[in-house]
């Protein structure tokens, strides 16, 4: 409808004033609740064409719109705002379509659909997944589902950073302090175990730095000369030289981590279609960098390090290979991009990575373009804000992160406590209770994170997220379960549900619900264009909030008018399905009973 109105406004401006306007100049909004109307056109941008007052301009445009758009019944003007009233028959037809389609608002892919590859997670194998990774994984998975719902073919991919100096730090600390400890012998998840040794390395490193400073070195010199950091650098060199013992330890510890990661991914409900490993892709990137040296694209220094000079592009110089020949992240990303475009006919590549890496992806895009890959400049960095805790940012090296596994377990405990206090699950078996506790906990976690604009830094509060009132996952899950309870009671009583809207007069609450409900396809489309799960999350909340007001004010099962009761059951059923579909795009389950 907004597209139709926008096009007709453009035609009206041409007819009335002989001027062409770009569609971006035509603002069509949902009419504010305090005014009469459904869609509002902002007319101020057109005054320079009409040379008339805002009210006169709106009047002229409004007359043309009502005469050319069949479903517009009337209009009113508030200063420079043209409020358009859409005929009730239009909304009822839209609602009947929504009620008939289980996946209303979703578009199926076809042969012409574009292939979108979305990279998310990208963990390092020297530590477990933490709260920051949770936001990354949830955003990546949700954006993937939203892109699918917009008719795209989607490949969900992960690049595991399984090599580098940080990996060697955990390996070296384990060699020094591990005494053969394994996940089996310790009873710890493998990723947690390896992460502990990463923290222990940092503790040893800091002690050596302090000792060297006490011996007269500057802090900078101490950091460079500390024996343990040089030993880690030598381990990385041996790894890249395929030293058997180093590679064997690396494979062993990485296997521990992968097993742990898989368990966490399963808990979070995220998955991947293709996983790449830096240990496989960095050599391809290194070959590309060396090709760039031969072709004069990059510069090799006297110490054998390789650099890209991007000063003429408004950036700075970027190292691509260290003097000892070892690779950096940029080298790996060049190789991974090349391999991916060889593996798949990618139309769009989206990297879900935090906003601290904006510069990195600017450089990557530019380097790939310089290396001759025409798709280099088309890479899209979906930049998102960090997750902070009340006590501030997390630091992996200092062991102050919130592990994903510990966080989920804590959320389940909070869900159990809140549910027991409210007495919502008193008649359930222990098995049913635990399943719902976990569903509510994950729903609370996912919704709390995904309802926030991805670009914003957010503060995570577990207790606030699991409230059964307000803009939370559990509130929405409970509303869905309430709707299913009504539908079960209707089925048990043999009460029929309409398949379409009967000839009845809708009250204002019913009309308002339908008007929100049928905008779902527009929300899904906009969420895909903006890569924003928050748009879906907040739409679902607005729909649920409006339904609960309706449910409070009107009866469904006890409505004496048979036709109205059948319609209200259909309305509740369709709203329930839309809640479920919206949460499906967020990766959140909804309970049938609660």
Three-state SS string over 18-40 comes to CCCCCHHHCCEEECCCCCCCCEE
Per-residue pLDDT of the chain (594 residues; tens, 9 = 90+): 888 999 999 999 999 999 999 988 999 998 998 899 999 999 999 999 999 999 999 999 999 999 999 999 999 999 899 999 999 889 999 999 999 999 999 999 998 999 999 999 999 999 899 888 999 999 999 999 999 999 999 999 999 999 989 999 999 999 999 999 999 999 999 999 999 999 999 999 999 999 999 999 999 999 999 999 999 999 999 998 999 999 999 999 999 999 999 999 999 999 999 999 999 999 999 999 999 999 999 999 999 999 999 999 999 999 999 998 888 889 999 999 999 999 999 999 999 999 999 999 999 999 999 999 999 999 999 999 988 776 554 444 444 567 889 889 988 988 888 888 877 777 788 898 899 999 999 999 999 999 999 999 988 877 777 777 889 999 999 999 999 999 999 999 999 888 888 888 899 899 999 999 999 999 999 999 999 999 999 999 999 999 999 999 999 999 999 999 999 999 999 999 999 999 999 999 999 988
Domain 439-586 falls under CATH 1.20.810.10: no
Token digits of residue 290? 């060396």
What whole-number distance in Å separates Cα of residue 450 and Cα of residue 234? 42
| Alpha helix ranges (H) inside 459-589 | 462-465, 473-492, 508-517, 520-530, 533-553, 562-586
Supply φ then ψ for residue 352, to 5 degrees: -95, 95
Number of DSSP helices (H) and strands (E) in the chain, helices first? 22, 14
The dihedral over CA atoms of 310, 311, 312, 313, expressed in degrees to the nearest 10, equals 60
CA distance 146 to 537: 12
Distance between CA atoms of residues 226 and 245, nearest Å = 24
Question: How many alpha carbons fall within 13 Å on the CB side of residue 375?
Answer: 16
Closest CA to 436 of 264, 267, 591: 591
* CB 53, CB 20: distance < 8 Å: no
Confirm if 270 and 137 have CB atoms less than 8 A apart: yes
Beta pairing partners, 319: 307
C-alpha to C-alpha distance for 27 and 45, rounded to whole angstroms: 9
pLDDT at 215: 95
Say if CB 264 and CB 403 are below 8 A apart. Answer: no
Nearest to 213, CA basis, from 200, 229, 225: 225
What pLDDT is recorded for position 316?
Answer: 94
- What is the dotted CATH code of the domain comprising 2-86? 3.30.1360.70
- Please tell me the distance from the alpha carbon of residue 57 to that of residue 488, in angstroms, as a whole number: 53
**Residues 539/521, Cβ–Cβ less than 8 Å:** no
Tokens representing 259 are 């097993």
Of 79, 87, 61, 81, the C-alpha closest to 5 is 61
Would you state the pLDDT for residue 388? 79
CA distances (Å), origin 518, targets 33, 36, 105:
17, 19, 9
Q: What fold does the segment set 120-388 form as a domain?
A: Rossmann fold (3.40.50)
pTM of the predicted model, to two decimals?
Answer: 0.90
Q: 139: number of CA atoms within 13 Å, CB side?
A: 33
Report the distance separating Cα 150 and Cα 148, nearest Å. Answer: 5
For 56-77, the three-class secondary structure string (H helix, E strand, C coil) is HHHHHHHHHHHHHCCCEEEEEE
Which sequence spans correspond to the domains of the chain? 2-86, 120-388, 439-586
Say what the pLDDT of residue 395 is: 47
* Cα separation, 89 vs 522, whole angstroms: 19
Are residues 197 and 173 in contact, defined by beta-carbon separation less than 8 angstroms? yes
Paired with 285 in beta bridges are none
- CA–CA dist 98, 22 (Å, integer): 32
CA neighbours closer than 13 Å in the CB half-sphere of residue 342: 8
């Amino acid at each position: 409808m907004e597209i139709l109105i926008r096009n007709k406004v453009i035609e009206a401006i041409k007819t009335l004033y002989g001027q062409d306007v770009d569609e971006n100049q035509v603002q069509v909004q949902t009419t504010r609740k305090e005014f009469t109307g459904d869609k509002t056109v902002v007319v101020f941008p057109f005054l320079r064409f009409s040379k008339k007052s805002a009210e006169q301009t709106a009047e002229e445009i409004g007359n043309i719109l009502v005469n050319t758009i069949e479903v517009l019944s009337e209009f009113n003007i508030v200063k420079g705002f043209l409020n358009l009233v859409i005929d009730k028959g239009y909304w009822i037809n839209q609602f009947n379509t929504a009620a008939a389609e289980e996946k209303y608002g979703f578009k199926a892919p076809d042969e012409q659909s574009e292939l979108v590859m979305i990279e998310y997670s990208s963990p390092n194998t020297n530590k477990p997944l933490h709260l920051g990774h949770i936001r990354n994984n949830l955003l990546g998975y949700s954006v993937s589902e939203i892109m699918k719902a917009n008719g795209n073919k989607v490949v969900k991919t992960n690049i595991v950073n399984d090599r580098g100096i940080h990996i060697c730090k955990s390996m070296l600390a384990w060699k020094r302090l591990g005494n053969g400890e394994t996940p089996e012998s310790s009873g710890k998840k493998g990723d947690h175990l390896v992460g502990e040794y990463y923290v222990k390395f940092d503790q040893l490193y800091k002690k050596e730095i302090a000792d060297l400073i006490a011996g007269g070195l500057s802090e900078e010199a101490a950091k460079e000369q500390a024996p343990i950091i040089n030993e880690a650098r030598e381990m990385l060199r041996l790894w890249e030289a395929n030293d058997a013992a180093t590679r064997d330890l690396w494979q062993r510890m990485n296997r521990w981590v992968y097993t742990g990661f898989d368990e966490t991914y399963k808990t979070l409900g995220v998955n991947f279609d293709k996983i790449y490993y830096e240990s496989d892709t960095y050599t391809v990137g290194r070959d590309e960098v060396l090709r760039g040296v031969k072709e004069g694209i990059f510069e090799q220094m006297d110490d054998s390090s390789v650099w890209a000079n991007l000063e003429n592009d408004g950036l700075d110089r970027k190292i691509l290979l260290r003097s000892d020949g070892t690779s950096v992240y940029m080298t790996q990303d060049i190789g991974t991009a090349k391999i991916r475009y060889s593996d798949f006919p990618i139309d769009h590549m989206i990297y879900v990575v935090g906003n601290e890496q904006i510069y990195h992806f600017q450089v990557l895009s530019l380097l790939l373009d310089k290396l001759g890959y025409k798709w280099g400049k088309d890479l899209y960095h979906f930049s998102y804000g960090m997750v902070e805790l009340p006590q501030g940012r997390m630091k992996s090296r200092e062991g102050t992160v919130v592990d994903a596994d510990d966080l989920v377990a804590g959320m389940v405990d909070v869900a159990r406590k809140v549910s027991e206090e409210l007495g919502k699950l008193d008649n359930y078996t222990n098995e049913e209770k635990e399943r719902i506790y976990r569903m509510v906990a994950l729903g609370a976690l996912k919704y709390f994170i995904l309802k926030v604009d991805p670009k914003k830094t957010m503060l995570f509060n577990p207790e606030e997220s699991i409230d059964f009132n307000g803009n939370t996952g559990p509130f929405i899950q409970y509303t869905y379960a309430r709707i299913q309870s009504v539908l079960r009671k209707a089925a048990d009583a043999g009460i029929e549900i309409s398949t379409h809207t009967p000839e009845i007069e809708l009250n204002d609450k019913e009309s308002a619900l339908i008007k929100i409900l049928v905008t779902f396809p527009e929300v899904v489309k906009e969420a895909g264009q903006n890569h924003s799960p928050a748009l879906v999350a907040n739409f679902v909340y607005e729909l649920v909030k409006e339904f609960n007001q309706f449910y409070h004010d009107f009866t469904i099962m006890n409505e004496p008018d048979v036709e109205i009761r059948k319609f209200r059951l259909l309305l509740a059923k369709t709203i329930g399905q839309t809640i479920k579909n919206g949460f499906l795009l967020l990766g959140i389950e909804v309970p049938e009973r609660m």
